[in-house]
Structure 1
Amino acid sequence: MTLKINPDHIDFVLVEPMHPGNVGSAARALKTMGFANLVLVNPCDYQNSEARALAHASEEVLLGARVCTSLAQALEGSHWVVATTQRRREFQFPFYTPPQLCEKMVPMSREYRISLVFGRERTGLTNEEIQLCHAITTIPAKVTNPSLNLSQAVMLYAYALYNSVYEPSNRFRWDPAPYSETEAVYQHLLRSMQRTGFVPLDNWDKFLMRFRRVFSRAYPENRDVQLMHKIFQAFEYKLNDLEGRLAARENSSPKTEGE
């Protein structure tokens, strides 16, 4: 059976777009390729006359955009999040070219929600924003420092997804954990490690980024998330037991005169 992308499960997330024309053009690109889920994080005035003019015949996508105050809010409900960035080596997250990304997204989109995140026109995504994602993707280009217009990048990915097909090769059923659940794992890890007295060599943000990179490569399922929580809970149980024993020992120790 040949599968095509499920457009209802694909969110195109634009982080702090500066130019209304880019938002309007992006809306038009999405409508042309059969997509409608436009998500805007702290956008410019995306409903002005310039944006509406460039969103010709696509006003319902533009005016129906979901507006959020943070990227974390925009990603709520997503199961897999991919950042578009040129900074591949810096983060060493799982990396996909557009064709490779489409091959991954088509079967996943049948049941699960995916967010494709685009950065600011001038500065792209911050380190912190990229760390919220599970993988990264880049549009290969000939020049050393490629720079595509935001709406052009949206159009290229929308076109690639629309034209992609997938031939299932096995019956394995993947049950990916939602974005919110994987984030809960990272916070549980942080709490557990801090309770043990562990101190990272650099700082906690970099420590968590390395764990995110490892965990993201595994494409964690719901059962993987549950397993990680059970491991951390076992740590916490032992810590609670140890703290209780130490407290009992201190309370039972004979007091010397003057105490």
Structure 2
Amino acid sequence: MLNNIRIVLIETSHSGNIGSTARAMKTMGLTNLYLVNPKQGIDEQAIALAAGADDVIKQAKIVPHFDDAVADCSLVIGTSARLRHLQNSLIEPRECGGKAINAAKCGQIALVFGRERIGLTNDELLKCHYHLTIPANPDYSSLNLAMAVQLVCYELRMAYLAEQDLPVSSIDNSNARTNSMATAQELEYFYQHTEQVYTQLGFIQNQGVMQKLRRLYQRTALEKNELNILRGMLSTVEKRIKLVRN
């Protein structure tokens, strides 16, 4: 299960944070690190701060865009501050650990950490199924990147270890839904298709509508066959629009 979980760092400014993240991951049994357009590459400082986890660093995948890092993932969890417009999708590290381990039984999972100074953009947050927030001391909530990764990876490991005590039957029964979850890339195609059709119908006249639709569908955790039905409905509407216009 841990092999199906990746840690994604977005546009990391300091190479030392990459090394410290690798160390935090390896101590908890995670090895899949994705770097999205890092501002500083893997250098001597990154290797030094990895403190023996240089194998995690050396096999890290470097990709240019957020979408490239999560395309094949059926569950994407992004870190965020306590933003009011994300209340319905906010989870804390312990709940995150449970959800990620359960979903990792049959699919690829991404835990995304944003830029050191500004975090994730609104567009990136919209592409996440859940938004992870760490309930730190409100009077001093300063956590650096590697500390946040370490805390989350600890909860992942605790959830993973708890799974080892479950009977095989209970694990098998939980696989069916996770196995058929739509991936981030499939959902992105669906959102583009939805926007195209609804714009033709005149229903979407500003980006606010599409943002709310994204959040709605993200909360429902669409399965692949459900997504295919929705795509089929959109295609049928498109055909009707063409007939009317002709």
Instruction: Provide TM-score, normalisation by structure 1.
Output: 0.86
1:219-258 correspondence runs (5 A): 219-244=221-246
1:1-259 correspondence runs (5 A): 6-144=1-139, 146-164=141-159, 165-166=162-163, 167=166, 168=170, 171=173, 173-174=176-177, 175-200=180-205, 203-204=206-207, 206-244=208-246
Higher helix share: 2
Instruction: Provide the C-alpha distance between the structure 2 equivalents of 1:125 and 1:145, rounded to a whole number of angstroms.
Output: 21
Q: Among the aligned pairs, what percent are the same residue?
A: 33
CA contact under 8 A between 2:89 and 2:219: conserved in structure 1?
Answer: yes
Instruction: Provide the C-alpha distance between the structure 2 equivalents of 1:148 and 1:56, rounded to a whole number of angstroms.
Output: 20
What RMSD, in angstroms, separates the aligned Cα atoms of the two structures?
A: 1.7
User: What is the CA distance between 1:144 and its match in structure 2?
Assistant: 4.5
User: What is the CA distance between 1:226 and its match in structure 2?
Assistant: 0.6
Report the CA distance shift for 1:115/1:93 in structure 2 as closer, same or farther (over 3 A): farther
Which ranges in structure 1 are unaligned for 5 or more consecutive residues? Answer: 1-5, 245-259
CA deviations 1:33-79 (Å, max 9, x no partner) are 11110000111334222111111111110121110111011112111
Instruction: Provide the C-alpha distance between the structure 1 equivalents of 2:35 and 2:42, rounded to a whole number of angstroms.
Output: 12
- SS state of the match for residue 150, structure 2? helix
Report the CA distance shift for 1:56/1:131 in structure 2 as closer, same or farther (over 3 A): same
CA contact under 8 A between 2:75 and 2:100: conserved in structure 1?
Answer: no
CA contact under 8 A between 2:77 and 2:110: conserved in structure 1?
Answer: yes
Range moving further from structure 2, 12-21 or 79-88: 79-88
CA deviations 1:191-213 (Å, max 9, x no partner) are 1012113343xx22x22210111
CA contact under 8 A between 1:192 and 1:232: conserved in structure 2?
Answer: yes
User: What is the CA distance between 1:80 and its match in structure 2?
Assistant: 1.0
Instruction: Provide the C-alpha distance between the structure 2 equivalents of 1:47 and 1:95, rounded to a whole number of angstroms.
Output: 32
User: What is the CA distance between 1:170 and its match in structure 2?
Assistant: 8.6
